[in-house]
Structure 1
Amino acid sequence: MFQNLVENAIDHVEEPTIHVGAEVHEEEVVFSVSDDGPGIPESQQERIFELFERGHRDGDGTGMGLAICDRILSRHGGDIWVESDDGTTFYFSLPR
């Protein structure tokens, strides 16, 4: 998870500042990976978790990484989502 999300942040920002965090809750742990890039348009935020969907057409990615993350997390009772405005933050959760 972390490798994919951090590599995405590095690939899409010229000189990225990346923050990785975790919050422990009663029933789950929520992890986050944030960058200071241009953000992801709201119209693309749901689609980027679909297989072969790429947020940026000019990159080298296959459009598989986020879809695979989503499927792995689902099978373990977790979730993944994105919030994007000034920069982008990907969150994923796993049950404790």
Structure 2
Amino acid sequence: MTVAEAGGRIVGFIAVSGEWVEQLYLDPAWTGQGIGSRLLTQATASLQVVKLHCFQANTGARRFYERHGFRAEALGDGSTNEEGLPDILYVLRC
């Protein structure tokens, strides 16, 4: 887990396990400032392959990951996630 702080408070974090980005969160008030990009880049710098799931409806996150070179490899119907929402498997091959 890597956190981003500003003004003494946590404004974002990324959790990586093996080649999987398990979570990436940024306080909406801090988006568009490069923090998410730095978290993603630093946390995955040593990996050859990076994988993650993203909800299909989350267009902002999809744009973010695609801008960073991730490619959609599979679409899910939501049956394998807790929320039951359609998702996408994204993969970045470094």
Question: Which structure's residues are more often helix, by fraction?
Answer: 1
Asked if these proteins are the same fold (TM beyond 0.5), I'd say no
Structure with bigger strand share is 2
Could you tell me the TM-score, scaled by structure 1's length?
A: 0.30
